[in-house]
């Protein structure tokens, strides 16, 4: 199969719609990362998404809809605080997990009674969702467990030959995935940290939990148990105050003849030799936007990556720290 990258326009949208109506899948941009979308109502289309990515069959998908879509068609929504969250954050990088009406394929939620729904803010995503006029199931458009794609070229690198079409909307501004928030209980509970912070949610509705799986328990957001977001090179992760050890690791790797580089925030860059640093940037927004671009660059220029955690851990840095940890963790 030939994979084409096309800018978003009348012709490419018509092609995307025809692919989806045939049960196929296409990649499209959002403000977080690129998505791999198919008709959420069709078992065959949803299975195709899992097959293209090599995604584990117990990791449920998020359904994407345009901003005027009637949510009541898909889910039961009886929590007043959920309406406040939609009001403040949608369209945007907040995925909300509701009790499902069972209107989409059961394959989407892997048999769970809940459904994750997102309304992306990206104008290209909105156009695509309006044009195709269906609930679109979409995970990130990468090979499972690899770094999520934030450009059309990243998608091509992973999925060339496996999908017919990549709608090109330029580089994603957000850079990491949406926050996944369960809104079925008394208070919202974050299942996956992301671009909307726990602090922002708590400020909006008074309280917000963070789900931390306990040993032996069946996880509530199955995707979180997998190694994820990993570049192809070897990785070593150091805490923010361990720059001297990180510099020593870099020296050893290079002495062993490996191409090695460092990933760190701008403030830590002076601790390393000139030319060795992939600089995440200064602000949390910059670091989120740069993380996956630099993880993908690392695997092309280096055999080994020495990553140093940024100092900040709150707000959207909770999501950045989570992804960095998973990218650089062992199996
Ligand atoms: P991805 O599509 O790769 O960004 O991953 C989607 C994330 O949403 C994964 O962590 C899933 O486990 C989570 N998710 C999707 N649907 C549900 C659901 N119904 N309940 C809980 N978590 C979900
Ligand atoms: Mg993903």
- How high does pLDDT run on average in the chain? 95
Domain membership of residue 317 (yes or no) is yes
**Whether residue 21 is found in the same domain as residue 164:** yes
Measure 114 CA to ligand 2 centroid, in angstroms.
19
| Mutation to probe ligand 1, out of 52, 54, 191 (largest number of atoms < 8 A from CB) | 191
**Whether residue 196 is found in the same domain as residue 241:** no
Domain membership of residue 215 (yes or no) is no
As for how many domains the chain has, the answer is: 2
Structure tokens at 27: 């990649």
Of 210, 242, 275, the one marking the end of a domain is: 210
**Whether residue 134 is found in the same domain as residue 246:** no
104 close to ligand 1 (CB < 6 Angstrom): no
Which CATH number covers residue 139? 3.90.870.10
Per-residue pLDDT tens over the stretch 113-122: 999 999 999 9
3 state SS of 68:
coil
| Mutation to probe ligand 1, out of 62, 99, 147 (largest number of atoms < 8 A from CB) | 62
| Mutation to probe ligand 1, out of 180, 185, 228 (largest number of atoms < 8 A from CB) | 180
Per-residue pLDDT tens over the stretch 231-271: 999 999 999 999 999 999 999 999 999 999 999 999 999 99
**Whether residue 80 is found in the same domain as residue 140:** yes
**Whether residue 126 is found in the same domain as residue 253:** no
pLDDT at 225 over 70: no
Atom number of ligand 1 nearest to Cα 178? 4
184 close to ligand 1 (CB < 6 Angstrom): no
Q: How far apart are CA 244 and CA 252, in angstroms?
A: 12
97 close to ligand 1 (CB < 6 Angstrom): yes
Structure tokens at 166: 């990549």
**Whether residue 165 is found in the same domain as residue 243:** no
Domain membership of residue 224 (yes or no) is no
Q: How far apart are CA 201 and CA 156, in angstroms?
A: 35
62 close to ligand 1 (CB < 6 Angstrom): yes
Domain membership of residue 226 (yes or no) is no
Measure 307 CA to ligand 2 centroid, in angstroms.
21
Q: How far apart are CA 155 and CA 72, in angstroms?
A: 32
Q: Where are the alpha helices (DSSP H) in the chain?
A: 10-21, 43-53, 80-89, 123-132, 152-159, 198-205, 243-255, 284-301, 317-328
Measure 306 CA to ligand 1 centroid, in angstroms.
29
pTM of the entire predicted model: 0.95
Confidence of residue 154 (pLDDT cuts 50, 70, 90): very high
Domain membership of residue 223 (yes or no) is no
pLDDT at 192 over 50: yes
pLDDT at 126 over 50: yes
**Whether residue 173 is found in the same domain as residue 263:** no
**Whether residue 190 is found in the same domain as residue 242:** no
- % of the chain residues with pLDDT over 90: 92
115 Cβ partners below 8 Å, 6+ apart?
63, 74, 75, 97, 98, 99, 100, 101, 104, 108, 109
Which CATH number covers residue 269? 3.40.50.11030
Residue-number span of the structural domain to which 264 is assigned: 234-327
**Lowest-confidence segment of 123-127, 227-231, 297-301 by average pLDDT:** 227-231
């Amino acid at each position: 199969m030939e994979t084409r990258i096309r800018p978003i326009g009348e012709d490419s949208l018509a092609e995307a719609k025809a692919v989806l109506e045939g049960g196929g899948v296409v990649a499209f941009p959002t403000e977080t990362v690129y998505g791999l979308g198919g008709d959420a109502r069709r078992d065959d289309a949803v299975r195709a998404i899992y097959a293209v990515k090599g995604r584990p069959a117990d990791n449920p998908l998020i359904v994407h809809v345009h901003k005027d879509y009637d949510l009541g068609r898909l889910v039961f929504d009886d929590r007043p605080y959920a309406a406040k969250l939609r009001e403040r954050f949608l369209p945007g990088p907040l995925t909300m997990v509701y009790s499902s009406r069972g209107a989409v394929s059961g394959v989407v939620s892997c048999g769970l009674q809940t459904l994750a729904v997102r309304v992306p803010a990206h104008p290209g995503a909105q156009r695509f969702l309006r044009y195709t006029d269906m609930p679109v199931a979409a995970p990130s458009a990468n090979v499972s467990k690899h770094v999520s794609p934030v450009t059309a070229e990243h998608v091509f690198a992973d999925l060339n030959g496996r999908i017919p079409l990549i709608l090109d909307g330029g580089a994603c501004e957000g850079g990491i995935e949406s926050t996944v928030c369960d809104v079925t209980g008394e208070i919202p509970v974050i299942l996956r940290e992301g671009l909307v912070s726990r602090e922002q949610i708590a400020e909006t509705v008074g309280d917000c939990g963070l789900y931390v799986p306990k040993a032996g328990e069946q996880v509530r957001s199955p995707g979180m148990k997998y190694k994820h977001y990993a570049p192809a090179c070897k990785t070593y992760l150091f805490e923010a105050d361990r720059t001297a050890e990180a510099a020593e690791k870099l020296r050893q790797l290079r002495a062993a003849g490996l191409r090695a580089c460092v990933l760190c925030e701008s403030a830590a860059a002076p601790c390393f030799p000139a030319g060795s640093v992939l600089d995440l940037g200064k602000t949390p927004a910059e670091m989120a936007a740069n993380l996956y671009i630099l993880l993908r660059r690392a695997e092309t220029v280096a055999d080994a990556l020495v990553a140093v955690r940024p100092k900040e851990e709150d707000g959207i840095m909770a999501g950045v720290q989570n992804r960095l940890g998973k990218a650089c963790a062992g199996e």
